[in-house]
Structure 1
Amino acid sequence: MPPASTEASTPVVAAPAAPVVDSRMAPGGPGYRRMSFALFLAGVATFALLYSTQALLPLISDEFGVAASQASWTVAAATGGLALFVLPMSALSERYGRRTVMTGSLAVAVAVGVAVPFAPNLTALVVLRAVQGAALAGLPASATAYLAEEVRPKALITAIGLFVAGNSVGGMSGRVITGWVAQEWGWRVAVGVIGALAVACAVAFRLLLPAPRHFTPGSLRPRVLVRTVRDHLSDPLLRRLYAIGALFMTVFGGVYTVIGYRLTEAPFSLPQGIVGSIFLVYLVGTVSASTAGRLVNRLGRRGALYAGAATTAVGLLATLAGSLPLVLLGLVLITAGFFAGHAVASSAVSKTATHGRAQASALYQSAYYIGSSAGSTVGAGAFHAGGWGGTVGVGLLAVVGVVAITLLGTRAARAQGAVVAV
């Protein structure tokens, strides 16, 4: 006889929930080192190409018989082209993928780089540089968007700092190499060597960069793009970050566009190779950019921006001295302050944007390179009108702007009881 049923239900024990695993890359994890090195090389190629004529401006002025303010357009045209096209290129990356757009951008830029040494006159050179800058527009915004999607948030500032460090190495190596090569064989051979370096970086970048795992294609419809841009520009924090990036770059672009003229003239009268070697101070930028995350952890975002602005201002004042060691010290401080401020501001943009990260980064890069173009042209014009003191004056005004905007962010944070505003 079967046992009587007690009609007691057996309790059901719920299985423990599986822990959520973040599959994004992190330091020490699979793919992180390859990704970091690939984007480092992309940064090297971008800045080496973008500023390949900056250390050569005195030689370009001599060959074409033009003033500093005219020769500086070979730099301003490249950065201006990038500023104009970075937003459309970021939209393409939203649709076709970050890696695809970055690869295509580098391919076109290095192809144009092959033609640059053969420019018959200044006008042709400026046009080619503008096209090259437009091609490079696919790199900066797409790279930061790729990092924001593929890297864990706690490692984001460090990862972007490494990309910015690649920028500093590219800017340094491009100027040092062109300085010494140009001293022996002229500026045309020098920019050709930079083009070959960029080809090698582009090939290695494509082979090393891991395929994206967290990219979701977006829309190319103009209405969607306009709405996304409007959303970003209506955000007070993002607006402040864009302005800060532009002002920091105004200082940097002006100083490094004009410094070659100052150092090749009396009282320094340095040869072109030595002037190119001055850009070794970019190594300081490599360090300050890669340690920006620790600076933010210690001082906070606003504190890090104040520190970057103060360091830049002290450096500007030091370059007014008639002593070469003091001028070099000033360049070191300017470089350290700039790269720290840039790394902090650009990483803050990626963290702040909740959607359309490529467009948010593109707007920052657009403002950043508008600042570079403005710094190059206004700084060169100020040098022509008032000597090095005029260029320094332009830089100090830009630093005052950074401080004023950061102070506005401090007031906004206090008013809202927030701790994240800039």
Structure 2
Amino acid sequence: MSRLTTLRRSTSPLATDRPPRPDNRTAPTVALLTTLGILVVGQMYTVLAMLAPMADSLATTPTQATWTATAFGFAYAAGFLIAGPLSDRYGPRTVITGGLMGATVTTLAVSAAPSLTWAVTLRVLQGLTAATFAPSAFSYIAAHIALHRRGIALTCVTSGMLAAAVLMQIGAQVVAAGLGWRMVFVLSAALIALSLWPVRHILRPTAAPDSTPSLLQAFAAVPRLLRRPRLVALYLATITLMVAFVAVYTAVVVAGPPGVAGDNSALLALRASALPALVAVPLLTSVLHRLAAPVRVVLAMSVAAGAVAAGSALGGDVRFLALALLVFVAAVAAAAPAVVEIVHTMASHARGAGVALYACSMFLGASLGPQLAGALFGQGFGGILRVVAVLLVLGTLLSLPALVGRRHNR
């Protein structure tokens, strides 16, 4: 190969897979994005720990109050389809900053909701503004984190987003018990506002590529990606995974076994029991990455299905249920970053749009989780978990085409 040919290839705008310049901000960047993942994504889950007090305050029932979670989730999922292309066009830091400013206002507004109708409406607005974070964070990692560190960065950030379901429920339960549910949103708004300073000082602007897509081109990438069957199957598998994840935690609250249901201390302990898994998975990144991302997804989905099935059979024992939840959450935490890796590869030059569709499917599933648990309430805790286990088996089957794609790409 001639020197001229080498030079042309190295400077070509199509050479998007070249590693980014060394960045000594990797550790603070990952810490910031992980923390923001907990705080921002956690707004989806805070209400699950406050269904009873919110229902009393808003003159409704806890089952009806689950719509405050579903409304946020649907808006959050839809917002990704806007945020991803915006991130491709204007850069992740700009979109994250604007979204955090909007989320501060809308989160504070939820605290003043006088009725369930207003609470649901304001949660829709909160979800739309919060949706700017996840796809922009993933795009930022792809653009600024060196390739050999990208796996641990993705694992930490996705684990933070999953940990939000546990940590923010615990925080919301504690704050609501002492200060009332409205103060949960006031404190959340304050923390989101405070995060603007580190975002501006730690995150770097993304350098414009040689050929920046127009806004119309960035949005046009979304339907093009949906014409790829293996990607669509992966998105559907993600929906089933997140339906299962949120449905299990909702079932614990609304239909939990006798040793847990109605006992705030037991609920707090059960939620906290999954935290070791969310810490362990990032620490085991180097071990997990010995397996290709498609293999990790299929294995993790299979383990998740087995853990939930076991929990449905022996969930009456709180200690066994805690162990089943630990394994289940670990499997979900291992699957999520592997899916992002596959999407990054398959979406190629439309990574912002590809990740936006992933994040959309992720929280579309999270939005449906509470409704599935509510609809199956009459089946009891074990019945809900059995349906969830079947759903995870379906998700495993949907993830299999990614393995076929891996063989074709060799």
TM-score range normalised by the length of the shorter chain: 0.7 to 0.9
Letter in 2 for 1:219: S
* Deviation for aligned residue 1:227: 3.7
Selected match of 2:260 from 250, 253, 268: 268
Counterpart of 2:20 in structure 1 is 24
- Shift of residue 68 of structure 1? 4.1
- Which of 223, 232, 237 is the aligned partner of 2:225? 232
Query: Using the alignment, how far apart are the partners of 1:288 and 1:398 within structure 2?
Result: 26
Counterpart residue type for residue 272 of structure 2: L
- The 1:343/1:167 distance shift into structure 2, 3 A limit, reads same
Distance between the aligned counterparts of 1:131 and 1:277, measured in 2?
Answer: 32
Count of aligned residue pairs for this structure pair: 397
Q: Does 1:397 align with 2:387?
A: no
* Equivalent residue, structure 2, for 1:248: 241
Provide structure 1 residue ranges, at least 5 long, that are not aligned to the other structure.
Answer: 1-13
Which segment drifts farther, 326-335 or 41-50? 41-50
Task: Give the 3 Å change call, closer, same or farther, for CA 199–329 of structure 1 in structure 2.
Answer: farther
Q: CA deviation at 1:214?
A: 5.7
| Match status 1:418 vs 2:408 | yes
Offset of residue 417 of structure 1: 4.6
Secondary structure, in 3 states, of the residue corresponding to 2:204?
Answer: coil
Could you tell me how far apart the structure 1 residues matched to 2:243 and 2:355 are? 18
The residue correspondences of 1:34-53 to structure 2 (distance < 5 A) are 34-53=28-47
**Quick one: structure 1 residues 226 and 201, their matched pair in 2 at CA, closer, same or farther if it must change by over 3 Å?**
closer
8 Å CA contact 1:106–1:135 kept in 2: the answer is: yes
2:128 is matched with which residue? 134
Deviations 1:144-196 (A, max 9, x none): 11211222333322221121132234333311111112222332223333333
User: Cα offset for 1:117?
Assistant: 1.8
> What CA distance in whole angstroms lies between the structure 2 residues aligned with 1:106 and 1:146?
16
Choose which of 333, 341, 351 in structure 2 pairs with 1:347: 341
Cα contact 1:93–1:101 (8 A) shared by 2: yes
Per-residue deviation at 1:327?
1.6
Say if 2:305 and 2:390, in contact at 8 Å, map to a contact too: no
- Give the % identical residues: 23
Instruction: Say if 2:301 is the partner of 1:309.
Output: yes
The answer to whether the 8 Å contact 1:119/1:125 transfers is yes
List runs of 5+ in structure 2 lacking aligned partners. 12-17
1:110 paired with 2:139, answer no
Q: How is 1:15-414 mapped onto 2 (pairs within 5 angstroms)?
A: 24=20, 29-213=23-207, 217-221=212-216, 224-225=217-218, 227-263=220-256, 266-272=258-264, 274-287=266-279, 289-290=281-282, 293-320=285-312, 321-383=315-377, 385-410=378-403, 412-413=404-405
Coordinate RMSD, CA, aligned: 2.8
| Shift, 1:101, TM fit | 0.6
Structure 1's 61 and 108: CA in aligned 2 closer, same or farther, altered over 3 A?
Answer: same
> Conserved in 2, the CA contact under 8 Å of 1:176 and 1:278?
no
TM-score, length basis structure 1: 0.85
1:94: how far off?
Answer: 2.3
Distance 1:336 1:132 in 2: 29
- Work out whether residues 174 and 194 of structure 1, in 8 Å CA contact, stay in contact via their aligned partners in 2: no
Any idea what SS the aligned residue of 1:268 has? coil
Q: Residue 417 and residue 166 in structure 1: after superposition, are their counterparts in 2 closer, same or farther (change >3 A)?
A: closer
Paired amino acid for 2:47: T
User: Residue 109 of structure 1 contacts residue 132 of structure 1 at CA under 8 Å; is this kept in 2?
Assistant: yes
